[in-house]
Amino acid sequence: MRRPRCGVCRQRVPLYDRGHRRRWRSLEDGLLKVYLEADLPRVACRVRAVVMAAVPWARHGAGHTVPFDERPRSRNPESYRRVTCSLLLGLRSRPR
Ligand SMILES: [Zn+2]
* Number of domain units in the chain: 1
Ligand 1 centroid–CA 76 distance in Å is 33
Within a domain: 34: yes
- Residue 38 covered by a domain: yes
In angstroms, what is the span from residue 18 Cα to ligand 1's centroid?
17
Confidence of residue 28 (pLDDT cuts 50, 70, 90): confident
Residue 42 covered by a domain = yes
Give yes or no for residue 85 having a pLDDT over 70.
no
What spacing in Å lies between the alpha carbon of 9 and ligand 1's midpoint?
4
5 within some domain? no
- How far is Cα 24 from Cα 8, in angstroms, rounded to an integer? 17
**pTM (2 d.p.):** 0.67
Expressed as residue numbers, the domain containing 28 is 15-71
Please report, rounded to a whole number, the percentage of residues in the chain having pLDDT higher than 70: 75
Q: With left for phi above 0 and alpha for psi between -120 and 50, is residue 66 left, alpha or beta?
A: alpha
29-55 mean pLDDT: 93
Please check whether residue 81 lies inside any domain of the structure: no
Look at residue 89 and tell me whether its pLDDT is greater than 70.
no
Q: How many helices (H) and strands (E) does the chain have?
A: 2, 3
- Establish if 27 belongs to a structural domain: yes
